[in-house]
Amino acid sequence: MVSEAFPRTRSKANSATALPSCCQEDLRIAGWVKTTLIDYPGKIASTLFLEGCNFRCPYCHNPQLVSLPSTAVYLKTEEILGHFSTFSRLLEGVCLSGGEPLLQKGLLPFCRNLVKLGLKLKLDTNGSLPEHLELLLGQNLLDYAAVDVKGPPGKLGVITRSRLNEGELTRALESTVRLLKEYGVSFELRTTVVPGLLEPDDLHRLAEWMRGAPRLVLQQFRPGKTLDPVYQDVLPYPPQFLRELAATLTGFFGECTVRGLGDTLSPNPASELQPG
């Protein structure tokens, strides 16, 4: 994987590529993994990390994307589109991650340009902005979505530390899932199982709430680099615990899997961005 997170100097756009600007001022791309085989299920993809988030999950492992300094330099959309144009035969898709990509005004025209290049799009979202999501769905721009469900109703506020209240968070997630079903877009739900924030009972309530979704992925919590320093030293649940938990939830979904167990003993690398 090639990570170009947080370049310190502005690089020149590929002058041989005459592609349109995508409202550069409205699209803050802070990191880029040019090639990944794991971020987009079944596809050779590239992952872009968009800056900014309306949540403040204490265990967030991309804290640098939640609030960047005002002096941050962002990647140029012309350069990214030029690269994708050159390598479109090798790349199958683009994963739009963050932060929360749906917060960015320039996302819609940027997605149009990506689709024009023949690329499939996967969106990683925290599920709080269904109106913004519908703008992309209405133009048939999305192929796949990964929706974070941070916890069951009643615990969303305390986990996300969002300005939205519990009812607003609950309704937004329900609308997000409903829209994906209505528009026929494949999706998965993802929950990071953090000790102290989520217990097995919480996961069962979450499963009852989201029953019938095609896939729930339980993600292993990774300490080391977290938004709230208190979580840097929290020990993850043992891998076997997560596997057994997933087995008890399988009946609620098309499938329930566990992700990230191979990294259980490794803290987050300090210099790399990680999709949701």
Q: How many CA atoms lie within 13 A of 58 on its CB side?
A: 18
- 138-141 long-range contacts (CB < 8 A, ≥24 apart) are 138/183, 139/108, 139/111, 139/112, 141/108, 141/111, 141/112, 141/115
CB atoms closer than 10 angstroms to residue 240:
9
The two beta strands, 29-36 and 93-98, are: unpaired
138-157 positions binding ligand SF4, by CB under 6 A:
148
Angle, helix 107-116 to helix 77-86, in steps of 10 degrees:
20
- Distance, CA of 151 to CA of 21 (rounded, Å): 38
Q: Is 99 in the site for ligand SF4 (CB under 6 A)?
A: yes
Q: Does 96 bind ligand SF4 (CB under 6 A)?
A: no
Residue 60 interacting with ligand SF4 (CB under 6 A) = yes
Please, which of residues 200-239 interact with ligand SF4 by CB under 6 A? none
State which residue, 53 or 246, has the beta carbon closest to ligand SF4: 53
Tell me if 95 contacts ligand SF4 by CB under 6 A. no
Q: Binders of ligand SF4: how many residues, by CB under 6 A?
A: 14
The least CB distance from residue 271 to ligand SF4, in Å, is 17
Nearer to ligand SF4, 113 or 126 (CB): 126
Among 34, 56, 205, 215, binds ligand SF4 (CB under 6 A): 56
Cα-Cα end-to-end distance for the chain: 17
The CB-of-151 to ligand SF4 minimum distance in angstroms stands at 12
Nearer to ligand SF4, 46 or 64 (CB): 64
Q: Is residue 53 within the footprint of ligand SF4 (CB under 6 A)?
A: yes
For residue 10, the tally of other CB atoms under 10 A from its CB is: 11
Q: Which stretch binds ligand SF4 (CB under 6 A): 2-10, 42-50, 59-67, 257-265?
A: 59-67
The reply to whether 268 sits near ligand SF4 by the rule CB under 6 A is: no
State CA 127 to chain mean position distance.
10
Should residue 57 be labelled a site residue for ligand SF4 when binding is judged by CB under 6 A? Answer: yes
Q: Which of 15, 141, 145 is nearest to 76 (CA)?
A: 15
CB of 65 to ligand SF4, least distance (A): 6
Q: What's the chain's length in residues?
A: 276
Q: Residues in the site for ligand SF4, rule: CB under 6 A? A: 53, 55-57, 60, 62, 65-66, 98-100, 126, 148, 276
